[in-house]
Amino acid sequence: MIYLDNAATTRPCRESVEAVMQGLEQFGNPSSLHGLGLRAEQLREKAREQVAHALGALPEEIFFTSCATESSNTAIFGVSKSVGKRKKRIITTSVEHPSVAVCINTLEEQGFEVIRLRPDENGEISADDIISAVDDNTCLVSCMLVNNETGTVFPVGAAFKAIKKNFPQTITHCDCVQGFLKRSVRVKDLSADIISLSAHKIHGPKGIGAIFIRKGVHIPAFILGGGQEKGFRSGTESVPLIMGFGAACEKYSGAIAERYAKMSELKKYFCELCQKADGVFVNSREDASPYIVSISVKGLKSEPLLHFLEQREIYVSSGSACSKGKKSTVISEFHVPSELADSVLRISFSGENTREDIDALMAAISEAQNTLAKLRK
């Protein structure tokens, strides 16, 4: 099995699985006053420290959620109810993940003015573009760090730093799901007030995410009830999943640069093979995250190709997993020509991948070009 769909989800690492199992056995409710509850609380707090450490944050700035989608919903609707009462302008990009984009669309329907910055002909959005869109009436700037379909990296740190200096009341939010632990993501470098994270993209379990909220920034709770997570996110915490998240953070917060270098090598090797192959085009920028490479195989539609590869036990994605079956608008925002937009495959790596995986993928693509193209004639 060759798994090249790591931007959709990653295989949980052994440490994370063991931590989840330990959490299941230590089954106490962290809100219980007896010893079993206390033990669960201690395990939850250890995991909070692990996540905070991986982000360069304080433990009290980390709140556990069910996923990054919940974190971004909490951030965006929360800001709309706090600063958004007085300031009605939101700045974002036209290539955000639906977990951000759909929330902002909803606020637009409710009367917020939304500015969606679009990548230029090189697929870039500059820090200046983001900074100059912000004015005194802006409540929120939400910009992802790494795009999930092309791996494009946006200059979030530079933009947010200037925005916080000029407009300290404007809240800056960053969806760091595809960047966290794949490149150095530190709260001090990012100048983000709020950050969304997900465990299952970093070899942790599904169903657990986190929201970082900078100390001193206040947004209302999104899920109300028993007052867990200091009243910010009610509902009995999933201590096993939280522990699995913590263990993955601990494992992958080291050697980020080494893994990045390995991925860059792999991406370079892959892109060189694509260049040599007939009809295979790389859509991602050279300076994009090496973990995600978007390609198009001219003349072959993404979905049949994906299934052809699957029959050879090679797993990739067409666009992003969240745009299942639908043509991705994000790909056209990145100026992929329309004749290639139906033929996009997203290849996404993890530290487990090798050159042999890429050789097998290229051989299978070539086979598909011969077989599928003939079938269509």
Catalytic positions: 322
Nearest CB to ligand PLP, comparing residues 64 and 167: 64
- Least distance between ligand PLP and beta carbon 148 (Å): 3
Q: Which residues contact 93 (CB under 8 A, 6 or more apart)?
A: 116, 117, 118, 119, 125, 143, 144, 154
Contact between 288 and ligand PLP per CB under 6 A: no
CB under 8 Å to 28, separation ≥6 — which residues? 34, 35, 36, 37, 38, 39, 40, 239
Lookup: tokens for 181 = 């632990």
Say if residues 178 and 148 touch (Cβ distance below 8 Å).
yes
Question: Which of 47, 95, 101, 144 is in the footprint of ligand PLP by CB under 6 A?
Answer: 144
* Degrees, nearest 5: CA angle 188-334-362: 100
Nearer to ligand PLP, 84 or 205 (CB): 205
Nearer Cβ to ligand PLP, position 103 or 295? 103
Q: In angstroms, what is the minimal distance from the CB of 65 to ligand PLP? A: 9
Say if strands 89-93 and 113-117 run parallel, antiparallel, or are unpaired: parallel
Give just the sign of the alpha carbon dihedral 58, 158, 127, 317: negative
Give the Cβ contact number of residue 137 at 10 Å.
Answer: 12
Interface with ligand PLP includes 99 (CB under 6 A)? yes
Distance, CA of 331 to CA of 328 (rounded, Å) = 6
Q: Does 210 bind ligand PLP (CB under 6 A)?
A: no
In terms of CB distance, is 26 or 105 closer to ligand PLP?
105
Find the shortest distance in angstroms from Cβ 293 to ligand PLP.
15
Closest distance to ligand PLP from the beta carbon of 128 (Å): 23
Nearest CA-CA partner of 208 in 243, 174, 250: 243
Of 65-73, 76-84, 86-94, 247-255, which part binds ligand PLP (CB under 6 A)? 65-73
Q: Per rule CB under 6 A, is residue 209 in the interface with ligand PLP?
A: yes
Which of 148, 152, 228, 283: binder of ligand PLP (CB under 6 A)? 148
User: Total residues contacting ligand PLP (rule CB under 6 A)?
Assistant: 13
Structure tokens at 21: 């199992």
d(CA 342, CA 318): 9
Q: Between 69 and 296, name the residue whose CB sits nearer to ligand PLP.
A: 69
| 174 bridge partner residues | 195
Q: Which is nearer to ligand PLP, 284 or 369 (CB)?
A: 284
Give the C-alpha separation, 210 to 71, whole Å. Answer: 6
- C-alpha distances (whole Å) from 219 to each of 59, 231, 233, 235, 358 are 17, 12, 11, 18, 45
Residue 56 vs residues 195, 292, 336: alpha-carbon distances, Å: 12, 24, 36
Which of 13, 40, 55, 67: binder of ligand PLP (CB under 6 A)?
A: 67
From the CB of 97, what's the least distance to ligand PLP, in Å?
Answer: 4
Mask: binding to ligand PLP, 307-326, rule CB under 6 A, as x and -? ---------------x----
Which x/- pattern, by CB under 6 A, does the window 159-198 give for ligand PLP? ----------------x-xx-------------------x
Complex with ligand PLP: residue 209 or 244, whichever CB lies closer: 209
Residue ranges in 224-243 that form contacts with ligand PLP under rule CB under 6 A = none
Q: Check residue 101 for interaction with ligand PLP (CB under 6 A).
A: no
Q: What is the DSSP string of 112-180?
A: -EEEEE---TTS---HHHHHHH--TTEEEEE--SB-TTT-PBP-HHHHHHHHHHH-TTSEEEEE-TTTB
Q: How far is the CB of 14 from ligand PLP (least distance, A)?
A: 21
CB 310 within 8 A of CB 3: no
The site for ligand PLP (CB under 6 A) is made up of 67-69, 97, 99, 144, 148, 175, 177-178, 198, 209, 322
